[in-house]
Amino acid sequence: MRVEDYYPKGKRWWVRLHEKGGKRHEMPAHHNLEAYLDAYIKAAGVGDDGKAPLFRSAAGRTDRLTDKPMNRVDAWRMVQRRAADLGTRVRIGCHTFRATGITAYLEAGGTLENAQAMAAHESPRTTKLIFNTCDPDTGGKSLILLDRGVDFAKM
């Protein structure tokens, strides 16, 4: 993601996600995401450079960010460290966040059709499958993160 992939549209802020196969997926940002991204952009000092990477790698073990984008392996390792700090034994990755978001949306009364659009799934069956596997009655693991009150901004 680049800084310009978080942008205002009307009264809302939106995110542009770059998906597999060069697809782009644009959607409104949740108000919590807006707050987290606004705080991050301000703290990182990256707001004026639209073409620059939004999420940047750290310069070693310093408190400084480089101009280089964070790679997917470093992002995954960061999530694993934060999960370990929380004491969770559940494997967490990109699909965990995706499934947790879909589940939270549907449990709050959202429609399957809108969840499908947000997840950019071709079929509602895929979205329903994710929701069903996250059901705590069937041993779903994604909801454990919601139940523990995990602050994803600190991950």
- Residue 106 to residue 142: CA distance in whole angstroms: 13
Residues 89 and 65 in one domain: no
pLDDT tens, 3-54?
Answer: 999 999 999 999 998 887 888 889 899 889 999 999 999 998 888 888 999 9
Residues 47 and 83 in one domain: no
Structure-model confidence comparison of residues 21 and 144, the more confident one: 21
How many structural domains comprise the chain? 2
Residues 40 and 103 in one domain: no
State whether residue 34 is helix, strand or coil: helix
Q: Which domain holds residue 146?
A: 71-155
pLDDT tens, 126-136?
Answer: 777 776 655 55
What's the pLDDT at 146? 40
Residues 78 and 53 in one domain: no
